[in-house]
């Protein structure tokens, strides 16, 4: 698994994920803060913003998805 996580503030982290994983995480973690990446009109990836506590849970789920 690549390290696609960056600390952007004292308690906030940005996690880069693929678009197919985003749908699974959005509902589970009630994600509202996102940035999307598009190519030729199609979304292929997202950056989600999570706090420190959510980061541990998101990272664990990403490992389960083998991302």
Check residue 1 and give its pLDDT. Answer: 45
Distance CA 13, CA 5 (A): 7
| Alpha-carbon span 10 to 45, nearest angstrom | 25
Mean pLDDT of the chain: 90
> What is 9-53 written as a DSSP string?
SSSEEEEEEEHHHHHHHHHHHT---EEEEEETTEEEEEEEEEEHH
At 67 the pLDDT is 64
Mean pLDDT of 43-59: 94
How does pLDDT run across 19-45, given as a tens digit for each residue? 999 988 988 888 888 999 999 999 999
Token couple for 10: 């004292």
């Amino acid at each position: 698994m690549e390290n696609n996580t960056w600390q952007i503030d004292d308690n906030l982290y940005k996690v880069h994920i693929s678009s197919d994983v985003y749908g699974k995480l959005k509902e589970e973690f009630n994600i509202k803060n996102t940035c999307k990446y598009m190519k030729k009109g199609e979304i292929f990836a997202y950056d989600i913003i999570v706090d420190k506590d959510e980061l541990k849970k998101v990272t664990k789920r990403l490992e389960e998805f083998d991302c």
